[in-house]
Amino acid sequence: MKKLLLTLLFTFTLSSWHANAQLTEDFENGLGNWTQEYVSAAVDWSTAAGNANGSVPGSNSGSLNASFVANNYSGNSTRLVTPTLDLSAGASYDLSFYHTQVDWSGDLDVLTIYYKTSAAGAWVELVNYPSAVYSWTQRTITLPNISGDYYIAFQGTGDWGRGVTLDDVAVSL
């Protein structure tokens, strides 16, 4: 009886968490229905196991993560954009994710996060990470100006670092 009760409790808890999640992405199946917007040149986000030189040897969880590597000093930038998110059901949502960005002798790629409240809306900067991050680090950001047509963009900007990596992205109440 205890086993059955614990199993039911665990199942209810897990289903309640997923019911509150508007987005969960571990990149195990590629970039899925995310889109890419080129800001400067055409350098794509892709999936990988870790970063460009292996100094981050694997993903935060599973075997793949998202990765942006430009391999130049040209400042190439591309936004990895979530599918449309309907955030109208709650008063407040958090974006959480893990990321790394390792420098190469002082050269560093940069991650900037943007949001917009409609498909035709303008991107608004949420946060910028201009410092090296040598191991998987979780970030949590409370999203502003929520709407029923919401988008989040992870912009990688290359400056000959070891790449920007993302894993385990979630948007939840």
* pLDDT tens, position by position, 99-142: 999 999 999 999 999 999 999 999 999 999 999 999 999 999 99
Kindly report the pTM of this predicted structure: 0.88
d(CA 107, CA 1): 59
Q: Which residue has the higher pLDDT, 146 or 2?
A: 146
Q: DSSP assignment, residue 28?
A: T
- The whole-angstrom separation of Cα 138 and Cα 126 is 16
For 46-70, the pLDDT digits (tens) are: 999 999 999 999 999 999 999 999 9
What is the distance between the terminal CA atoms of the chain, rounded to a whole angstrom?
Answer: 33
